[in-house]
Every structure is written in C-alpha cells, then in structure tokens.
Amino acid sequence: MAETFDPHKDKFDLHQGATLRRNYQWLVDDIANDISDFVEIRSQFRWGYSDADPVFDLTEANGGIVRVSDNNGEFQLHITDELSTAVVPNSTCDPNVSKWPMVFDIEMVHSDGDVIRIIQGTAQFYREATR
C-alpha cells in the first residue's frame, strides 16, 4: 500500500454532554478513495501530543467510528453524550476557562499492515453548565 500524502487538516468544536457525529470522505485528488481494503479505521483525541492516555479512543469495534460507504470512502466519527460528559481534564487545562483544545488524528490500517494517517487536527472542547 505505502502511499504518501499530506493528511487533511480539520478543526471543529466538541461540546461536553452532547453527541458528536462528524462525517468524512477520504478523497485523493478530489476522487473518492475505496476503503474496502482497509481493515481498521481508528482515531484518538488527546489534550496534547505528549499525553500518554487519550481522552477519546475511537475504533470501529467500540462504535466510535462507523463506515458509511466503503466504495465512496465515507465514514463517521461518533462520540456519545455519555463519553463527552465523562471527560476529565488533565493538569494543563485551566479550570477558569470554558473551552480546552485537543489534538486528534484519524488513521486507516490497510490489509497489508500499512498505516496511513488521513486526517489530523484540533478540536475545541467546550465545557457544559447543565448537569
């Protein structure tokens, strides 16, 4: 597989206590890429690149990633309201602000074992007042 390209950059907001469903389509040169030969799609969110433990560890197995169409390269990130409610900030998160930045990426594992990072970026995590 060994394909080299720059991952797509993405930035979005994530709200504590709310469900996130974010749709993606993997395009190469503006053409939908068939993802049926990929055995796994995975994503992790962290407060910072050096954090050992992810805030969210999303996989197809745990329902955090859902394939929509292999032929069209479409899939969805799914963070439940239960997951977003349970987020615990690390020591770098200022408790006096209403939002904290996270970093994330999305990787695909090809049937030959090669891993391709297709998306990377940041998410602003907004704290909730309603409990």
**What is the reported pTM?**
0.91
Q: Does 2 have pLDDT greater than 70?
A: no
User: Going by DSSP bridges, is the β-strand pair 31-32/115-126 parallel, antiparallel, or unpaired?
Assistant: unpaired
Which pLDDT tens digit goes with each residue over 32-82?
999 999 999 999 999 999 999 999 999 999 999 999 999 999 999 999 999
Domain ranges of the chain: 8-126
Please give the average per-residue pLDDT across 2-29, as a whole number: 89
Interacting residues of 66 by C-beta distance below 8 A, sequence separation 6+: 60, 75, 76, 78
How is domain 8-126 classified at the architecture level of CATH? Sandwich (2.60)
